[in-house]
Amino acid sequence: MDVYLPIANLSVNGLFIVMLGFGTGILSGIFGVGGGFLTTPLLIFYGIPPTVAAASAATQVTGASVSGVFGHMRNKGVDFQIGAVMVGGGLCGALIGAGLFSLLQAIGQIDVVINLLYVLLLGTIGWLMMREALAELKPARFGSKKRAAKRRHHPMIAALPYRMRFYASGIYVSPLAPALLGLVVGILTMLMGVGGGFMMVPAMLYILGMSARVVVGTSLFNILFITMLVTMVHSFTTHAVDIVLAGLLLVGSVTGAQYGTRIAQVAKPEVLRLILASIVLAIALRMAYGLTIRPDEVYSVVPL
């Protein structure tokens, strides 16, 4: 099934793109991550121009997180208070990200920066998740619950001023903390075409110390708004959102997300986390390797 992409200016195998969306959809359903961290590199690898890949992947993540947000809202799994603060931070982040994007593009280092970011972020988070999951998989004793309770928020977070209570998350922190988190995620979403769920979830759990019950829902809520924003910023600045590409990805990912949710209900969470950690680590390692070997394309063309 050949499909012509009017913005990317090339023809692709539509079925392949749908399957790619399906795969990331399953991931997003299971783990509450958008799956953008998987889509963007694979699209680039497939030959889609990097900017188009990042912009369209952001659009796709919106769709992949919608039904998740609704689902978590029904179960009261979204902290709208923190969510709103994070979206506010994300708004600034997306704009800063847009500025960074054109700056890096002008000096020709956007690809390297994106790749390095992937390696650093995915590497760190993958490693942390892996350690966590392996520890949990060891003969489980009753202690695991207690340990989570011991971890209050990070001392640096507690030191921030204007602390307030976020009841749904059960924390008492300065709104600056979630706003900063939102800001960082906003920048990354703009640069990398990722929703940022893979780093938001651990950050909310271990840095902010939010209640696990609302973490995934609030993360999805944030992803939903940030990716909508990023789509908008991209359509204004880079004009790189390809709706045919995004549509194909969506067809796959919204279906995949539904299956993912079902898998998440029956599978063991620590096994799932181990799998996610392995995927994240594998991508990080592959990209790190890619940075050190001679690339296929030593030369690249930028229109003046």
Partner 1 sequence: MIWSSLPFPSPGLRSGCGAAASGRLALRPFGPLAWLALIVGLLLGLCGTAHAQGRDPILVVGASQTDIVLRQGFTGTELLLYGALLDPRGRRADEDYDIVVVLKGPTEPITLREKEQIAGIWVNAASTDYRSVPSFYAMASSSPVSEIVDPRTAAIYEFGLDYIQLSPTGTIDTEEQARFSAGLVDLRQRQGLYNQFDGAVDLDEGVLYSVRLPVPSNVRPGEYTAETFAVLRGRVIASNSRQLVVHKEGVELAIANRSQDNSFLYGLFAISMSLFMGWAAGRLFAIV
Note the residues at the interface with partner 1 (CB under 8 A). Answer: 2-4, 6-7, 9-11, 59-60, 62-67, 70-71, 108-109, 111-112, 116, 228, 231-232, 234-236, 239, 241, 243-244, 246-247, 250-251, 254-255, 257-258, 291-295, 297-304
Tell me whether residue 6 or residue 170 sits nearer to partner 1 (CB atom).
6
CA–CA separation, 303 and 294 (whole Å)? 24
CA–CA separation, 56 and 287 (whole Å)? 21
Interior CA angle at 267 toward 262 and 268, to 5°?
145
CB of 35 to partner 1, least distance (A): 13
Tell me whether residue 228 or residue 272 sits nearer to partner 1 (CB atom).
228
Tell me whether residue 92 or residue 104 sits nearer to partner 1 (CB atom).
104
CB of 262 to partner 1, least distance (A): 9
Residues in CB range of 137: below 8 A, 6 or more apart: 270, 271, 274
CB of 6 to partner 1, least distance (A): 4
CB of 236 to partner 1, least distance (A): 5
Tell me whether residue 64 or residue 192 sits nearer to partner 1 (CB atom).
64
CB of 167 to partner 1, least distance (A): 28
Work out the burial of residue 132: count CB atoms within 10 Å of its CB; fewer than 13 is exposed, 13-18 middle, 19 or more buried.
Answer: middle
Torsional class of 261: left (φ above 0), alpha (ψ -120 to 50), beta (otherwise)? alpha
Question: What are the structure tokens assigned to 254, written together?
Answer: 């919204």
CB of 51 to partner 1, least distance (A): 12
Say if CB 119 and CB 284 are below 8 A apart.
Answer: yes
Tell me whether residue 149 or residue 265 sits nearer to partner 1 (CB atom).
265
Residue whose C-alpha is closest to residue 65's, from 109, 99, 31, 114? 31
CA–CA separation, 158 and 147 (whole Å)? 19
Tell me whether residue 243 or residue 264 sits nearer to partner 1 (CB atom).
243
CA–CA separation, 173 and 160 (whole Å)? 8
